[in-house]
Amino acid sequence: MKAKVYVTLKQGVLDPQGKAIHHSVELLGFENIQDIRQGKYFEIQLNGSLSKDEAEKLVTQIAKEVLSNPVIEDYKVEIEDL
Amino acid sequence: MKAKVYVTLKQGVLDPQGKAIHHSVELLGFENIQDIRQGKYFEIQLNGSLSKDEAEKLVTQIAKEVLSNPVIEDYKVEIEDL
C-alpha cells in the first residue's frame, strides 16, 4: 500500500522560497502568475499487511510528528489502495 | 484559478533525503514502513482571466522549465477550477 503526504505552510506564514521562484518565473517572461508557494511531498511505501485504517493512522502520526512542523505547517494524508 | 505541481525523483534515482527520513522514522519506533521518497509540491495562483486549457499549458511549461530537472525528475500538473 502506498501513502502520499502533502506538507504546506499555513496561510499567513511567509514563504521566501516560493517568492524567489515567483520572481524567477516572472524574470523568465511568464505572465498571469499571482503567487507561488512551495511545499513538501512524500511518498511512503507501506507493508501490505496493514489495513487501510491502520495505514491512515500510522501515516497521519508520522506526518504530524516527523514530516511537518505543526506550528507553521499543515499536512494532508492520502492512502492509495493498489 | 489554482494549479498544483508535484515533482518527484524518477524511479531508480537515489533519494538520500528520503532514506534519511526513513531511517529516522524507524529509529523513532514506527514499523511497517518499506520506503519513503521525498518530492516537491507547488501551489500556483493564476490570474482568473485564463481558461483551463491556457492555465494547463502555462503551468506545464513552468513545471518543465523551472520547477523540475527533467534529467532526474518527473512532474505532474493539476488545475483546480474554483
State whether the Cα torsion B17-A69-B34-B26 is positive or negative: positive
- Grid cell at residue B5: 505541481
How high is the pLDDT of residue B72? 97
CATH number for the domain that contains residue A19:
3.30.1280.10
Structure pTM?
Answer: 0.90
How high is the pLDDT of residue A48? 82
Domain span including residue B30? 2-80
As a whole number, mean pLDDT of residues A44-71 equals 94
How high is the pLDDT of residue B61? 96
- Are B49 and A32 an interchain contact pair (Cβ–Cβ within 8 Å)? yes
* Contact partners, residue A4, CB within 8 Å, separation at least 6: A41, A42, A43, A44, A77, A78, A80
Give the residue from chain B lying closest to A33, CA to CA.
B46
Element (H, E) at A78: strand A73-80
Split into its structural domains, chain A has a count of: 1
* Contact partners, residue B41, CB within 8 Å, separation at least 6: A6, A7, A8, A38, A39, A40, A41, B4, B5, B6, B7
With beta carbons less than 8 A apart as the criterion, state whether A6 and A75 touch.
yes
**ipTM of the predicted assembly exceeds 0.85:** yes
- Are B67 and A21 an interchain contact pair (Cβ–Cβ within 8 Å)? yes
Q: Which residues pair with B74 in a beta bridge?
A: B8
